[in-house]
Amino acid sequence: MAYHYRESGLDNIFLIDGFRVHKTKYGRGVSIDNTEGLHKAIGRWLIDLPKPLNGAELRFLRLEMDLSQNQLAALIGSTEQNVRRWEKTRKRPVLGPADRLLRALYNQYSGGDVDVRRMVDRLAELEQITRAPEARLRETKSGGWKVEADA
pLDDT on residue 131: 64
pLDDT tens for residues 109-146?
A: 887 666 766 766 666 666 555 666 666 778 788 878 88
pLDDT on residue 64: 94
pLDDT on residue 106: 92
pLDDT on residue 110: 84
Contacts of 69-73 spanning 24+ positions with Cβ under 8 A: 70/127, 71/120, 71/123, 71/124, 72/102
For the four alpha carbons of 63, 66, 70 and 76, in that order, the dihedral sign comes to negative
pLDDT on residue 125: 63
Contact assessment for residue 109 and residue 117, using Cβ atoms and an 8 Å cutoff: yes
- The mean pLDDT of the chain is 85
Domain boundaries, the chain: 3-126
Label residue 59 left, alpha or beta by phi (over 0 means left) and psi (-120 to 50 means alpha).
alpha
In 3D space, the residue among 89, 108, 86, 109 whose CA is nearest the CA of residue 97 turns out to be 86
pLDDT band at residue 33 under the 50/70/90 scheme = confident
Identify the residue with better confidence: 52 or 149: 52
Report field, pTM of the whole predicted structure over 0.85? no
HEC string of 19-59? EEEEEECCEEEEEECCHHHHHHHHHHHHHHCCCCCEHHHHH
